[in-house]
């Protein structure tokens, strides 16, 4: 492995370590609350201390990631690529998007990788009042797509990523569900609990509190369900069944 390759590998691994620590933080907080409910104050205190240590570790990893001196080597671009790049620049368009509301969730420091249906806490989509009429008959659907702007993303864009729980496996960005995209757009499918005026109360969302909402669409049976969908490259990983449990947010003891 060359020096440049080692540096690039390290840059991809550190966000993976942070994500892994965030999962541990969520587990700690869950069991800390259980310990407190059982009157195990000393256990709860230790778990709280563990959470703080993990958060501190993440701050150091983030700092380390910013200090890496990345080196890129690029040779001459073939004529055909130059021509295509020029054509794309000539036809490049910019779009202005505006939020239609915000997400309310209990997540301020870290959020799950995917929506967890039975997650604890208050999850709502609060639309600007002028869009409230657009919710007419939406409550007749069971699920919705929520399209939002991931305004808290700070990591730089990479075309090769290490997805969480993939054991350091590297895949192309577009073969992943990484939140760091060329355009910071997030997509979640959540269950509608009820709609009151301009607020949609939902099952667990995987977004930070205050996340701007760009659009909402109904999830329609058969139209949005593909019976022959698969798990792609995930099945090539050792113990991928365990990974699927994490992706689905299914509680497990191993």
**pLDDT of 56-81, one tens digit each?**
898 888 888 877 754 444 445 455 66
- pLDDT, residue 249, reads 57
The answer to whether 122 and 104 are in contact (CB under 8 A) is yes
- Segment 31-51, tens digit of pLDDT: 999 999 999 989 989 999 998
Task: Report the pLDDT averaged over residues 71-95.
Answer: 57
- Split at pLDDT 50, 70, 90, the class of 188 is very high
Q: Is this model's pTM higher than 0.75 or not?
A: no
3-state DSSP assignment of residue 144:
strand
Higher pLDDT, 13 or 86: 13
Helix, strand, coil shares of the chain, percent, nearest 5, are 40, 15, 45
Q: Which residue has the tokens 């269950």?
A: 191
High-pLDDT (> 90) share of the chain, % = 32
Task: Round to whole Å and give the CA distance between 25 and 23.
Answer: 5
CATH number for the domain running over 101-248: 2.40.30.70
Around Cβ 15, how many Cβ atoms within 10 Å? Answer: 20
Mean pLDDT estimate for the chain:
83
3-state DSSP assignment of residue 8:
helix
Task: Report the pLDDT averaged over residues 134-150.
Answer: 95
CA atoms within a 13 Å half-sphere pointing along the CA-CB vector of 58: 18
- pLDDT, residue 88, reads 58
């Amino acid at each position: 492995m060359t020096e440049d390759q080692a540096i690039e590998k390290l840059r991809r691994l550190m966000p993976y370590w942070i994500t892994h620590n965030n999962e541990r933080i969520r587990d700690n907080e869950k069991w800390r609350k259980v310990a407190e409910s059982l009157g195990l104050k000393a256990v709860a205190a230790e778990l709280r201390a563990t959470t703080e240590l993990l958060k501190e570790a993440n701050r150091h990893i983030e700092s380390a990631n910013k200090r890496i001196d990345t080196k890129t080597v690029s040779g001459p671009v073939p004529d055909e690529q130059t021509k295509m790049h020029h054509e794309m620049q000539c036809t490049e368009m910019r779009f202005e998007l505006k939020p239609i509301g915000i997400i309310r969730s209990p997540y301020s420091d870290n959020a799950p990788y995917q929506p967890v249906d039975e997650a604890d806490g208050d999850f709502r989509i609060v639309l600007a009042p002028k869009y409230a009429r657009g919710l007419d008959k939406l409550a007749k659907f069971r699920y919705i797509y929520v399209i939002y702007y991931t305004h808290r993303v700070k990591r730089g864009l990479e075309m090769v990523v290490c997805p969480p729980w993939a054991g350091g496996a590297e895949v192309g960005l577009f073969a992943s569900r990484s939140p760091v995209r060329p355009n910071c757009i997030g997509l979640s499918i959540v269950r509608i609990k009820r709609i009151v005026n301009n607020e949609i109360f939902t099952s667990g969302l995987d977004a930070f509190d205050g996340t701007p909402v760009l659009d909402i669409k109904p999830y329609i049976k058969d139209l949005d369900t593909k019976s022959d969908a698969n798990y792609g490259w995930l099945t090539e990983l050792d113990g991928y069944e365990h990974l699927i449990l994490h992706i689905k947010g299914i509680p497990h003891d191993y």
